[in-house]
Structure 1
């Protein structure tokens, strides 16, 4: 079992003006994020615009990424897809190029939403791979809520060792922790509190534009320096609240570009921020310097 503690940065995918993946910038970003001290990089995360990448693009992204990372931090690859065979195919490919873990959404579009169906879904993937599976609770996007009871069943599978909780319901998050499962927080506004409550780490989109601050926050919490952690959190919070309420990925990648990380471009059908949103984002970032 890989140890996915700490800051697992849900990495942006940089694009050229043409819409193609900008692989030189992608590799530069990896170097910057590794230098910032992140504990893991999640390639093809939602913040990496996974829904708008083809399977071939994801495969190439993961190959290039794993080679560049070269064991300096954990590699987590999202292998979600609607077609079951494709999920398994993507997962096996990611495992073959050195992924430490696979992040996989439940069958989110008119697939089974009952507990037995979800267990069968992950059971089939579990039988096909030999690396850690990170389940993904994000009901606001999938319409599927993973209950603490379901999580208890899923963690009986050999490789289902983590749950990423992006729901933002801190009550459920604490119930997850009480099951004994290894929980990774994915809801930006609850990050500091989830770490204090016992989350093993985070999968964090906002770390794209503040990787040094994210690592510092984790270090402060794990060393018990809660006062300093909360003071840092207050500097981070304006931008976190902005990205959580506004279009998430366009906000994150633009904030990252403004702070020297990436191209700031999104792939259609995503749209860049409006002039008004841009002004509000800049104001929200001021406390970070």
Structure 2
């Protein structure tokens, strides 16, 4: 079992003005994030615009990324897809190029939403893998909630060792923490409190624009220096509140660009921020020195 503790940065995919992936900048970003001390990088994350990448593009991202990371931090690849055979094919490829873990959405978009159907979906994937499988609770996007009871069942599978919880329901999050499974927080605005409550780590989109601060926050909580952690959190929170209530990926990518990480470009159908949203974002970043 891979130890996915700490800051697993849900990495952006840098695009040029025409929407093509810039792999050179992608590799430069990996170097910057590794230098900042992140514990893992999630390639093809939602923040990396996974829904708008082709299978071939994802495969190349994983190949280039795993080679560049070269064991300096954990590699987590999202291999979600609507077609079951494609999920398994993507997963096998990511495992073959050196992924330490795979992240897979439940069977969204008119797939089975009952607990047995979700369990059977993950069981079939689990049987094909030799590395960790990270489940994903993000009902605001999928329409599917993974209950604590279902998470407990899933945790008995051979490789299903983690869940990323992006729902933002801190009560459910704490119920997850009472199970035998391992929890990774995915809700930007609850990060501090999830870590204090016992989450093993985070898969964090907002860390794209403040990787050093994210790593420092984890370090402070790990050392139980809660007063200093809360002081740092107050600087981070305004922008986290903004991105959580605004178009998420365009906000994160623009914030990252403003702080020297990436191009800020999104791929259609996503759109850049409006002038008003841009002004609000800039104000929210002021505590971080932007």
Q: Deviations over 1:38-82 (max 9, x none)?
A: 000000000000000000000001000000000000000000000
Q: Distance in 1 between matches of 2:265 and 2:108?
A: 26
Q: Residue 155 of structure 2 contacts residue 180 of structure 2 at CA under 8 Å; is this kept in 1?
A: no
Residue 174 of structure 1 pairs with residue 162 of structure 2: no
Q: Deviations over 1:94-130 (max 9, x none)?
A: 0000000000000110000111101110011011111
3-state SS of the aligned residue for 1:2?
coil
Aligned to 1:34: 34
1:190 deviates by: 0.3
Aligned to 2:102: 102
Q: Distance in 1 between matches of 2:99 and 2:52?
A: 21
Aligned to 2:83: 83
1:81-160 to 2 correspondence within 5 Å?
Answer: 81-160=81-160
Aligned to 1:190: 190
Structure 1 segments (4+ residues) deviating >3 Å: none
Q: Count the aligned residue pairs.
A: 289
Residue 268 of structure 1 pairs with residue 268 of structure 2: yes
Q: Deviations over 1:133-186 (max 9, x none)?
A: 000000000000000000011001000000000000000000000012100000
Aligned-pair Cα RMSD in Å: 0.4
Aligned to 1:53: 53
3-state SS of the aligned residue for 2:123?
helix
Aligned to 2:233: 233
Q: Distance in 2 between matches of 1:258 and 1:37?
A: 20
Normalised to the residue count of structure 2, the TM-score between the two structures is 0.99
Q: Distance in 2 between matches of 1:279 and 1:30?
A: 28
1:285 deviates by: 0.2
1:14-29 to 2 correspondence within 5 Å?
Answer: 14-29=14-29
Q: Distance in 1 between matches of 2:78 and 2:216?
A: 26
Q: Distance in 1 between matches of 2:5 and 2:41?
A: 12
Residue 278 of structure 1 pairs with residue 278 of structure 2: yes
Normalised to the residue count of structure 1, the TM-score between the two structures is 1.00
3-state SS of the aligned residue for 1:183?
strand
1:16 deviates by: 1.0
1:18 deviates by: 1.6
